[in-house]
Amino acid sequence: MDRVPIRVLVVDDSVVIRKVLSSTFAEDPELEVVGTASDGRIALAKIPVLNPDLVTLDVEMPVMDGLETLAALRKLYPKLPVIMFSTLTERGAGATLDALSLGASDYVTKPSNSGSFDVAVAIIHRELIPKIKALCGRAKRLTLPPPVPPMKRRIPSNRRVEIVAIGTSTGGPNALTELLPRIPEDFPVPIVVVQHMPPVFTRLLAERLASRSAIPVKEGSAGATLLPGHAWIAPGNFHMKVIRAGVEWRLSLNQAAPENSCRPAVDVLFRSVAAAYGPNVLGVVMTGMGSDGVLGSRDIRDAGGEVIIQDEDSSVVWGMPGLVHASGLDDAVYPLEQLAAEITRRVQHRRAPGFGFGLKSYAPLEPPVK
């Protein structure tokens, strides 16, 4: 039986963009454009009539812009998925981060006016359509990347954690805004993060996280020395690795081929921390679409480290953490609201006086979800 198409409302002040989106979506039998709107006021009037499953929303529009529209839409339709379609500029990136904080489900960077029609269509096929399907529960079922047979569950090693490595994608900016501000000022180890985002976006995200957090948060830079109680976000379009340099650990950036269609890639970062820190790694895989982080989680586990993941209910898309879980590579699953406390506990608990003497097992503060 054929599935009912996903009903999409396209909101953009550009006639060209509306036509490109409508014609491209029409080629996919799983999508149906039920209407278009040139500004937010028109869009809000059409939603109760058209009953869309998802809205694509421009940022800069006359009469009622994307942020105003989103704020009003969220009051009326708190669960309706919204994907921002913004320009790859500093202004566009800032507005997109504002939109995510207001409740946008995800974003896609809009091709510039100078881009060709073919480039625009390629971006829609590669980035926008998969996100629409994922947010509406139609994501293509991913198989475990070979060779990743399910791994048997194990008893945690109780080794000291010397670095925390976090990987996230769709829903990640808001999840990181929930997590990093809850990390205490005296956190004793460095934190390294891959959030799938393009250039400019990652710098602004780091700045926003820094303004809300007790610990310093910066965009990663080549050669930066890792310090306790500091966090680094991988810069857009660069893989970020951790390397040993004498008695120090430093960041290394490169533009090698994308992995899992991503640069930065979680697998690259996780692989590097496993090589640099061995069993003293805590990996954290949070909300995100796709399979990035599965192979890297195996590297961490093979080195003797541990991996915890965000649960399905609190994830915008349970792709990345879900596949880690399906592979048996996670040591525990926690809702977003508990992740910061659990990360902090695992790091600090193992530094407590007398730890390791007479302790029979590792007992979580909150029972993990399995």
- 79 phi, psi to nearest 5 deg: -105, -5
Same domain, 123 and 43: yes
Same domain, 202 and 340: yes
Average pLDDT over the chain, rounded to whole? 90
Residue 369 placed within a domain: no
Peptide bond into 147 cis (omega under 30): yes
Question: Band of the pLDDT at 361, cuts 50, 70, 90?
Answer: very low
We report the CATH number of the domain holding residue 12 as: 3.40.50.2300
As annotated, the active-site residues are 169, 196, 292
Residue 19 placed within a domain: yes
92 or 63: which carries more pLDDT confidence?
Answer: 63
Residue 154 placed within a domain: no
360 or 187: which carries more pLDDT confidence?
Answer: 187
- DSSP character at residue 318: B
| pLDDT at residue 90, as a whole number | 81
* Predicted confidence (pLDDT) at residue 282 exceeds the cutoff of 60: yes
As for how many domains the chain has, the answer is 2
**320 Cα distance to chain centroid:** 9
Predicted confidence (pLDDT) per residue in 64-118, tens digit: 999 999 999 999 999 999 999 987 778 888 999 999 999 999 999 886 655 577 8
Same domain, 220 and 342: yes
1-10, 77-86, 141-150, 181-190: which range is least confident on average? 141-150
Same domain, 90 and 181: no
240 near 194, Cβ under 8 Å? yes
135 near 106, Cβ under 8 Å? yes
Question: Band of the pLDDT at 363, cuts 50, 70, 90?
Answer: very low
Q: For the residues 189-195, what does the mean pLDDT come to?
A: 98
88-102, 227-241, 265-279, 330-344: which range is least confident on average? 88-102
Predicted confidence (pLDDT) per residue in 151-184, tens digit: 555 555 678 999 999 999 999 999 999 999 999 9
Same domain, 211 and 130: no
Same domain, 177 and 82: no
Euclidean distance between CA atoms 157 and 14, whole angstroms: 56
The domain of 83 spans 6-135
136 near 6, Cβ under 8 Å? yes
* Predicted confidence (pLDDT) at residue 1 exceeds the cutoff of 50: no
Question: Band of the pLDDT at 355, cuts 50, 70, 90?
Answer: low
Same domain, 258 and 298: yes
Same domain, 96 and 181: no
91 or 185: which carries more pLDDT confidence?
Answer: 185
* Structure token digits, residue 224: 């930066």
Euclidean distance between CA atoms 130 and 125, whole angstroms: 7
Same domain, 126 and 175: no
Residue 144 placed within a domain: no
We report the CATH number of the domain holding residue 204 as: 3.40.50.180
Q: For the residues 231-241, what does the mean pLDDT come to?
A: 98
| pLDDT at residue 120, as a whole number | 83
Same domain, 94 and 202: no
* Predicted confidence (pLDDT) at residue 213 exceeds the cutoff of 90: yes
Same domain, 131 and 223: no
Q: For the residues 127-137, what does the mean pLDDT come to?
A: 93
Residue 148 placed within a domain: no
Burial (0-12, 13-18, 19+ Cβ within 10 Å), 101: middle
